[in-house]
Homo-oligomer: A and B are copies of this chain.
């Protein structure tokens, strides 16, 4: 095992029984008891001022770094989290939890409703990014941490970072929203909508009631393929798949599957079906589509929304990300600056599209590392 990994890690579970045993969601529904799956890396220092909360993207989970015993695939942000890395576990206590509504150990649509003994399915509340953050707050409270050094995440994780910064400003020193927006573009919503329709059009979806029977795997696979294409850039796809004559090889390998990208997309779709719950994908994409920071906290004004914030920001975007383009990051930076908020902004020139925050990205690691050092020195 490499020296720069946190090594073997365990998934932990936080069961919270908020009085009496429920959490109120933004939609008004109450639910409980609830569980959040989470992991931690590094150690909380004596001053309890070195905690970093990692916020995952749509299909991520609590396993951000290290290896589960017996497995050879590390956590999804292994190249950012570990000894000496962008988020240095020699210095910081790192926490990552699976979001509420997810399907990787936290309570979500596929969890059993204690009232009925059956999965919640569509009776699960229509969660929001705010609900995800509210649940995380309970977890952070339970760990005895009053203030986080930073909250950081890409895409849906970046939305949570933004939500944290205006919802619980007293609880964070800084926030690092990466490759994200304060509100989805019409195009991002449209692609998510097609993904949802792909699932809901699948007869096996059965209005969400498919547990213990055939899964809506056809629709779910297509939904994943759509996501996959939108997360990549044309250049990234070109580098991966382009060849002479577009790589077409005739009818070999099955009818209409002659393009090299075919098998790749099919593989991604199938892999996803086995690791993710279709209803969770519906709930989580809806949460991102209805996220609107200006509307929720500023009566439609982004400047007013950020007037609630008191943290320092590092905002990162990627030149090849056409799903969450840099213009959206610039808009949030502008609104922050109008509030005299300390914000560092950088568009990183990299070819991997929206997925750039997940891949090996030394510039991102260096920017985050430097920012955290500075914040920790000033505020710690």
Contact = CB atoms under 8 A, between A and B. Distances in A.
Contacts of A234: 185-187
A221 interface: yes
A26 B221 CA distance: 33
A261 interface: yes
B193 A262 contact: yes
A256 B282 contact: yes
A90 interface: no
A58 to B, nearest CB: 15
Interface in A161-190: 183-187, 189-190
B194 A229 contact: yes
Interface string A236-252: 01101110111010110
B226 A266 contact: no
Closest 6 CB pairs of A and B: A186-B237, A187-B234, A201-B218, A186-B238, A248-B290, A194-B225
A232 B191 CA distance: 12
Contacts of A225: 193-194, 197
Nearest to A225: B194
Given A193-B262, A237-B186, A203 B226 contact: no
Given A186-B234, A201-B222, A245 B194 contact: no
B261 A186 contact: yes
Interface string A206-229: 011000000000110110011001
Contact of A193 (B221, B261, B322): B261
A328 B248 CA distance: 20
A197 B221 contact: yes
A137 B295 CA distance: 58
11 contacts: A187-B237, A190-B265, A193-B259, A193-B261, A194-B226, A201-B218, A201-B219, A201-B221, A245-B295, A246-B290, A256-B282
A15 to B, nearest CB: 29
A191 B295 contact: no
